[in-house]
Chain A
Amino acid sequence: MTRSSAAPPERTPTVLVVLVARDASDWLRGTLAALAAQTYPRMAVLGVDDASIDDSKQILQQALGERRVITFPSRHGRAAAFRAAVDQPAASEADFILLLQDDAALDPDAVQRLVEAAVALPGVDRVGVVGCKVVDRDQPRALLDVGRSADVFGHGYSPLQPGEIDQGQFDRVLEVLSVSTAALLIAREAWKRAGLIDERLDEAHQGLDLCWRVRLAGFRVLMTPLARVRHPAESASAGSAARPRGHGRRYEEDRAAIATTSKNYGILSLLWVVPLSLLLGAVRLLFLALARRFEEAYDLLAAWGWNVSHLGGTWARRRRIQRERRVKDRQLRRFMESATLRLPRWFQSAERILDEQRAIDERDEGASTSRRLRDRTASLVGTHPVVVGSFLAIVIGAVVVRGLFGPEPLVGGVLPAFPSRPDGFWSELVSAYRTTLLGGSLSASPALGALGGLSWLMLGSTRIAQKALLVGAPALAAILAYRAAARLTGRPGASVLAAAAYVASGLTLWSFSDGRLDLLVALAVLPAIFERTEAAFAAEEPSDGRWRFVAGVGVTVAVLVAFLPGAVLAVALLIVVQLVGGSARGRGLALMASSLAVAAILLFPFVPTMVAGGGAALSSHVGTTDLSSLVRLAPGGGPGTWVVALFLPVAAFLSFALVGAEHRAKAVRAAAAAVAGLAMSWLAAAGWLPEPLSNPLAFLAVAATAEVMLVAYGVSSVVTGLGREAFGLRQVLTGMLAVALGGGLVLQTVAALVGGWAVGEPGSDRVPPAWSVVESRARGDFRVLWMGAGRNGSFPAPGGDPQDVAQAGPATVRYGLTDRGGVSALDIGRSSAGPGPDRLAESLEEILSGTTKHGGALLAPFGVRFVVAGDDDLPAATRAVFDAQVDLDPMPAAGLVVYRNAVAMAPAAVLRDDPATLDAVRASDVADIARATVGRGAALTQVEGGWSGGKGSGPVFVSTEFQGSWQLEGSSDPSFTAFAWATGFPTQQAPVAVRYGAQLPATIQAWVLGALWAIALWVTRKPVAR
């Protein structure tokens, strides 16, 4: 037997018990009695009273004598008590110190067993710390601690399940990373080399840090089950004394974890642990923020902050620890858990499922293989629909999005380009003027704040944020659809099916394929709105109270509308349906109206943007009048928009037929919403609705959501009632429903797996190859006018969606304006309305009227250098008109029709210095503009707050809507209206700096907006138990 070096073998080691008491009069006598009953012969007890306000001090003194009690006049905590104890001469002579909490009752032989484990285990030497098996004081069969490990990031981990019963499963001496501090035996040499307790840490986490250091110093840490200590499950004193006011357990855990790893890891380990820790922290922060667990997110941030501010102390301790290091980090790995600590829980669930499957196997023994397989599948899906659904969704989703996670930014479809940095979003949000397209004063959508925040959380990468949003939105749609359906039906299985059908619907897959981030967010949020609208008009009061309901729905609607303003039409349609068929109409209307008012407040700078141009922001020029496509919920092409996409409407119809009495009224309302959504979508796409009501996609989203809820109602009714009925039409319909849903989901999944998305990494013709004609032939900033036939449909990438329609009989075109990079995420939710867009529409109509051949000159003031259309997407009449323009040169470009504006102007420039040019810039008559030959000029560069640069001298022109606040730095010359809408300045000497002079109100507005959102989110946060 190898002896421990901590104690000489010739004699019985001495043990000094340091009992730290704090307000422990209720249980301290028991603890002392247990100490008194110890069988170990060479043991002394030193009591420390940590400024108790009860009789603890007197009890200690009565039991131990005054000389053996150290009294603190104020609270110092266990670490200080330990320090005070070891300062005693007796302590420095003791072979072992037993740190004992005041509520820990030792079994009579506990100290004996601890010492034996430390010095008398065969083949075990250099034992530094020994811990006890900790059981519940009131229920001694319940295990509380059998030693701990930690993950690589310093978070402690117990192998015990909550409430796990002691059945002897841990009854062997275990070498562990750390043990409970309820009763911890530490060898003198160990504490002298590893140091004392880090008093900065919360008491609940001091043990792990201490034991880790002991390990690094070359000692073992053991847990002996023979030494048992009873301890309350929730220690009254543990962890709360040093916790700063307002912080939760997460704060202490993260604070201690970061500090512990910072001190204890070697440099090489820190090189990968720290970045990984930061990354995972960011992910956690994102998750917590998205889940509105703001207090926990704050705790996490505070933990980081504490460690940054205490870096000096941590560094000093680290130096000492590393000086005493005897073992390498990798030697401790076997006592640590992998980073995927959560996996055991999954495995435990899996184990439980397997047990169930085994039971079915035993029951079906002798049955055919197909029968057994069917029973097992039915059991698995029936009892764990969410687990099965989640597992399948993760696996399928991972394969589906496999092509989106390369290093390049995504392109294709109508995916908007993200700015290069997160502050690009915030700058636009705060800016008093629109920095994109034709400028103006229309505020940016608050959605930019969310996009900026997401980008920031993605380590400052807008590229990753773009991918995360694209991939995450359908997942979020599935989750929220599930939640909404589960709330409405109370049936997880039916809700899982409904959620799967939602994600596999033609509309969702088309939106994903096209990179329609705005619509994807709307699709994610709409099921929640649907459910909340049902709740508002239900006979019962909302369960979360009216105020919280209003705030919650207000925030949800605000998020929805911020991304897709037209979605307010969807909300309105749902309200109308409820007004017709709901129960508590008055209350429901009041609640929803209040919610909309809250949403309006949360979007207050954005509301004028929404209503500008007669509500242009509410409309969309993407939709379909093809009834077959409409019913398939597929306004465009792409994987999953084929005929199989009919599975959802078919399943919804069958579900409606099958719905039981418990869901009948809700199903009728859902059916009404679905039918109304489809009808309104068609009417909007066909041009029969007024412009502000024309948003085919918003109405189609309502139809999709309602159909999904019908599926949930129907499946829920089938599951609950079918088995009790005789075979008949219902069973036949159920079979049809199963075929429609099952077949549809499988085939849609196959389509998603094998189909090529319109968005993806560059290549595979996601952007027409001919686009390079535009990109490569021009330097500097310019704008592109996109055109296409008819009212509806997006443009080839990167043209995005149309902004308006120019009606001109057979030459009618939809059109949109983009910068050279294509459609921008900075314009999410923002329409094109104002003098600039109005003038552009006027100019385009002039060209289409066929009376002019100088369309290039008319488009020049808008910075348009190229006019682009899809090859087969331009009416012959329009093409003839544009072919006839003498200053729009057709360019060879396979796959696209491209015209280059021969007289294009830079979007901002110092122009030629002659009276004719100045007259031309000041011209307001379209006829004068048509004959003007202004020239490109010396281009200005767009910078934060305006434009700068230029060469030579001449009038300054900026193709941004005229506002009196535009100023020329260093010049008193006032601006003037150029070309009847833009901004110009008299002749100046370059370089010039054009700046916007009224930023302050917008900045204040942005702060107010931020405060309002903070308040709203705080009000609707998920409560966290402290």
Chain B
Amino acid sequence: MRARGQGFLTLLLAGILAVGGVAFDRLGPKEPAPAPEGSVETGAWLCPHGGGKGYEGTVFLANPGETEVSTRVTGLTAEGVSETSEVDVPPGGQVEVSVPARDRAASTFVETFGGWVAAGWLVRGAGGEPGLGAEPCTPQASRSWFSAGATTGEGETSFLVVMNPFSTDAVLDVAMFATDRAPVRDSDLTDLTLSPRRSVAIRLNDYAQGEEALGVSIAVASGRAAASTLVVSRDRGIESVVATPAPAARIDLLTSTGAGQSSLSVMVPTRVADQGGDAVRAPVGQLGSTFAATLRSADPPQPAGGLSDQAQEPESAAVYPVATAGASAVDLVVRDGAPVVAALRTVGVGKDDGSTGGSATPASSWIVTPTVAGDPSRPGVLVLNPGSGDASVTVVSLPTGGAAEGTAAETTITVPGGSVGAVPGRFLAAAGATSMLLRSDGSPIVALGASTSLGNEGLSLFGLAAGVPIPESQAP
């Protein structure tokens, strides 16, 4: 009897343990609460714009928000911090900040406090290096950078501008990829130490001369950095392409206004697929990348430069000629293999070409910073609608002094799916050299600034700069 009682208790205990175990297993740990809404909005932009003797540099800060944003703008050179200034960016407006650009390595570090702003640069050459280079600044440092925008062909000099605005050394390994040659990994560019709060300009011609397509890969072994390529040519002006932190499986490169002749540079930086960036699963043993390029414009889409199924070796860069007319976009899509990095170079009407690294991700809202160097000018803003439905895009100017000044202008354009539209030139001309806020009510879009300025008819200098996508959390 007593034994039976103990047996019952034992079974009861076993039952409790079993039921408890199952119940706990199903219940699982409590989910943590979501991240609290931050009350402190601060940010940073890294602008490795470079420069040269007599160059003028400008950083545009555009504030699409409703509150004033404070910024701290720090100029960096190879010698260290050149100057620091504090600038307030009014709500719904922009500020044009002159930054030092007389050093090849010149770059600018922008810290923002109290809200979100977009930042883009514009450098204008002088003397024997006329031209205009423009690109958006990059919002964060990274441990890897890639650019397909360099070229060291005849009469062209390419610089890799790397900035380290941080307080620790950045130790870099730079590799260069070209067509039909082994990657260039020079000992000078291995374990290259970039001291804190400094930037450096590496003359790529010293390592790979005569390459029409030269891709650059930077691996930051220690610390962080940001980079861009600056190409200087007496005949083809100045071109800036901001580096991207990761290769992508799809890149939209917009262009306009030029002479109708463009070249698409594509770099396959990795031997192995899925190394950062957008993942495209490569078959086992697959090396390199197979991609297609589609030219989008007001006309029906067509293969760009005949690139419908182009294979490219890994650790290589190649240039493909593309004929463009008016507002158009090259939509590069990797079909198989490793993600790629691309740049589109468009021949300008004057002696200044324009380049852009494009955008990998469409977004609903964009800021396009000015790409004109002065009057006369023909400002242009292009909008690609990569989706299938129409996109109604509201364009609002962000005037200097802010919306409170009452000078903000607004217009709306409709961009059919799969095509490229342009913001009316008259609207842009009336708004002046201001940043533009673009909001799409439909499909996500990609925006780019493409302008010419100066010269007799405002066609002398060609500026091509990708827009800055506005994060969802900051969308106006």
Contacts and interface: CB of A to CB of B under 8 A. Distances in A.
A812 B30 CA distance: 12
A196 interface: no
A927 B29 contact: no
Interface residues of A, number: 50
B34 interface: yes
A902 B166 contact: yes
A605 to B, nearest CB: 34
Contacts of B386: none
Contacts of B166: 886-887, 889, 902
B35 A657 contact: no
B6 A657 contact: yes
Interface stretch (B221-229, B251-259, B274-282): B221-229
A659 B6 contact: yes
A890 B167 contact: no
A808 B36 contact: yes
Contacts, number: 142
Interface stretch (A174-182, A827-835, A843-851, A954-962): A843-851
Interface in A672-722: 675, 678-679, 682, 685-688
Nearest to A900: B168
A927 B111 contact: no
Contacts of A682: 24
B178 to A, nearest CB: 31
B32 interface: yes
B140 interface: yes
Interface string A924-947: 001100110000000000000000
Contacts of A730: 3
Given A627-B21, A687-B30, A886-B111, A853 B42 contact: yes
A891 B220 CA distance: 12
A277 interface: no
A717 to B, nearest CB: 10
Interface string A833-860: 0000000000001101111111000100
Contacts of B206: none
B286 to A, nearest CB: 26
A627 B224 contact: no
Interface string B399-435: 0000000000000000000000000000000000000
B35 A653 contact: no
B471 to A, nearest CB: 10
A351 B20 CA distance: 53
A892 interface: yes
Contacts of A671: 9, 13
B114 interface: yes
Contacts of B224: 883, 889-890
A74 B375 CA distance: 126
Interface string A854-883: 100010000000000000000000000001
Interface centre among A627, A656, A846 (most CB of B within 10 A): A846
B38 A812 contact: no
B9 A656 contact: yes
B167 A889 contact: yes
Interface centre among A685, A850, A883, A931 (most CB of B within 10 A): A931
Contacts of B361: none
A675 B32 contact: no
Nearest to B46: A886
A892 to B, nearest CB: 4
A664 interface: yes
A532 interface: no
A668 interface: yes
A884 B114 CA distance: 17
Interface string A610-637: 0000000000000001010000000000
Contacts of B464: none
A852 B40 contact: yes
B7 interface: yes
A269 interface: no
B207 interface: no
Contacts of B30: 686-688
A927 B113 contact: yes
Given A625-B29, A809-B32, A854 B9 contact: no
Nearest to B223: A889
A687 B30 CA distance: 5
B37 A849 contact: yes
B92 to A, nearest CB: 20
Interface string B11-40: 001101100110011011110111111111
A555 B30 CA distance: 37
A625 B27 CA distance: 11
Given A675-B16, A791-B29, A809-B32, A851 B6 contact: no
Contact of A852 (B33, B41, B141): B41
Main secondary structure of the interface of B (DSSP, over half): mixed
Contacts of A902: 166-168
Given A808-B32, A892-B222, A653 B40 contact: no
A687 B34 contact: no
B294 interface: no
A807 interface: yes
Given A892-B221, A926-B39, A931-B70, A675 B10 contact: no
A883 B114 CA distance: 20
Nearest to B37: A849
Contacts of A891: 168, 222
Nearest to A845: B36
Nearest to B141: A886
B131 interface: no
Interface in B171-219: none
B13 to A, nearest CB: 6
B123 to A, nearest CB: 23
A902 B221 CA distance: 19
B216 to A, nearest CB: 22
A679 B7 CA distance: 23
Contacts of B37: 849, 851
B99 to A, nearest CB: 18
Interface in B422-476: 473
Contacts of B314: none
A161 to B, nearest CB: 47
A105 interface: no
B38 A850 contact: yes
A852 B10 contact: no
B172 to A, nearest CB: 13
A661 interface: yes
A891 B168 CA distance: 8
Interface in B70-92: 70, 72
Interface centre among B2, B14, B28, B41 (most CB of A within 10 A): B41
A933 to B, nearest CB: 8
A890 B223 contact: yes
A811 interface: yes
Interface in B103-158: 111, 113-114, 140-141
B33 A809 contact: yes
B43 interface: yes
B44 A886 contact: yes
Contacts of A849: 35-38
B36 A853 contact: no
A657 B7 contact: yes
Interface in A776-820: 791, 805, 807-809, 811-812
Contacts of A678: 20
B441 to A, nearest CB: 26
Given A661-B2, A889-B166, A808 B34 contact: yes
Given A687-B32, A808-B33, 14 more contacts: A625-B24, A625-B29, A675-B16, A687-B29, A807-B32, A812-B33, A851-B37, A853-B42, A854-B40, A858-B40, A889-B166, A889-B167, A902-B168, A930-B113
The 8 A-B residue pairs whose C-beta atoms are closest, nearest first, are A851-B38, A849-B38, A902-B167, A687-B30, A808-B35, A812-B32, A807-B33, A686-B29
18 contacts: A625-B24, A686-B27, A688-B30, A805-B32, A807-B34, A808-B36, A846-B40, A851-B42, A852-B40, A853-B42, A853-B111, A886-B166, A892-B221, A900-B168, A926-B40, A927-B39, A930-B113, A931-B72
